[in-house]
Amino acid sequence: MFGRIIQIFIKEMIELKRDRWARFRLIVPPIIQMLVFGYAATFEVFNVSTVILDMDHSQESRDLVSHFTASGRFSIAGYAESPADVSRAIDRGDAAIAIVIQPGFAELLRKGATAPVQVAVDGTNSNTALIALGYVGDVATAFSQDYAADFLHRTSGGLDQRQASVRLEERPWYNEDKNSRWFFVPGVIGTLTLTLIVNLTAFAIVREREVGTLEQIMVTPIRPIEFILGKTLPFFVIGLGEVALVTAVGMLWFQVPFNGDPLVMLVGTSLFLLSTLALGLLISTICTTQQQAFATNFFVVNPLFTLSGFSFPIASMPRALQWFSYINPLRYYLIVIRACFLKGVGFGVLWPELGMLAVLGTALLSASVLRFRKTLD
């Protein structure tokens, strides 16, 4: 049994050695995608194009505008002269947000009253709009606190007067700087691995059928389980190499720390690869042509990515989709890999996710074996 599996393994590795383009696709594109996704995937928003309409023209209004420019989150696209200019700037896409300071802003502040500021946001991109509104709130709060402290100092005549206040002191765990890239880069490792391995294995048996080598294999005494395992092992080794490659790029280039146990990472990655390999082989046993395999691969991988929790919280999804995500291997692997990178937890915490990966991998591999038939039909 093992001898026949090894022979199929050697056959697959020889084919990979002969295919230079395949070797190129296994090395260069994953590195490029890691770099691109590592920079592009982030919750942070910088240089939000902003138009200012200052109808107060006071020292206080100019100070408020300076707070926005100094924050680094907003880029002043222009100064409007009227509300119509604000509407045109947002309609044309010249600005994503508008800050409108009404007349009497400074007078209300000097009286100790609340001075409202109008904020108009282009809601076309709701994600950017919500994040930008959060930054506006932070800037307005900082301005209010600075102005209150300065006002107290000026009105007290230099005397030391204390003002009661409550200060929220943040203490983030595992990611003290709240760097969203530390969250996304481990997720990119999982999604790239899923896409690459499923894509490779989805064409494995279909390609054998189209080029005619499957007929030669059919006349041998090899059993379905041996054939499937022989097809799985080469891609399993390749998958481990791919994970190591993109992980090294993520850690060295983006300076993402790895605080966990390498053994936990290895076990989690191995179980995830078992699931993705079995899924790709199942697609390959169902399809009869490479065109069908390509279409099915596209149909399967995209929902797995969307329902994995990579960028969209699973808890915010409809209940039916939340239940469907329980059969998604990527969901569990993202928990494992992010916990290994940032939290440094071990088997005692991650055993439910590792157990589910083992169950899914075994079920999908069994389905692949049962689907495979030594026949051309």
pLDDT in tens, 232-282: 788 888 889 989 999 999 899 988 889 989 999 999 999 999 999 989 888
Residue 98: strand, helix, or coil: strand
Question: Which range marks the domain in which residue 321 is found?
Answer: 7-41+176-371
Q: Based on the domain organization, do 140 and 266 belong to the same domain?
A: no
Q: Based on the domain organization, do 334 and 206 belong to the same domain?
A: yes
DSSP H helices, 46-125, are 59-70, 83-91, 105-110
Structure tokens at 4: 């026949």
Which parts of the chain sit beneath pLDDT 50? 375-376
Residue 162 lies in a domain: no
Residue 366 lies in a domain: yes
pLDDT of residue 376: 47
Q: Evaluate the CA torsion angle 134, 135, 138, 143 in order and state its sign.
A: negative
Q: Based on the domain organization, do 195 and 137 belong to the same domain?
A: no
pLDDT of residue 219: 65
Q: Which of 55, 160, 60, 67 is nearest to 110 (CA)?
A: 60
pLDDT of residue 46: 80
Domain boundary residue among 124, 155, 186?
155
Domain boundary residue among 155, 186, 221?
155
Q: Based on the domain organization, do 107 and 212 belong to the same domain?
A: no
- As a dihedral over the C-alpha atoms of residue 259, residue 263, residue 267, residue 272, rounded to 10 degrees, the angle is 40
Q: Based on the domain organization, do 317 and 183 belong to the same domain?
A: yes
Q: Based on the domain organization, do 342 and 195 belong to the same domain?
A: yes
pLDDT of residue 115: 87
Mean pLDDT over all residues of the chain? 84
Asked if residues 338 and 259 have their Cβ atoms less than 8 Å apart, the reply is: no
Q: Based on the domain organization, do 19 and 54 belong to the same domain?
A: no
Q: Based on the domain organization, do 242 and 139 belong to the same domain?
A: no
Q: Which of 199, 221, 223 is nearest to 287 (CA)?
A: 199
pLDDT of residue 243: 92
Residue 317 lies in a domain: yes
Q: Regarding beta strands 117-121 and 74-79, do their DSSP bridges make them parallel or antiparallel, or are they unpaired?
A: unpaired
Domains in the chain, number: 2
Structure tokens at 296: 């099915």
Cβ within 8 Å of residue 248, ≥6 positions away: none
Q: Based on the domain organization, do 27 and 151 belong to the same domain?
A: no
pLDDT of residue 265: 94
Question: Number of H helices and number of E strands within the chain?
Answer: 15, 4
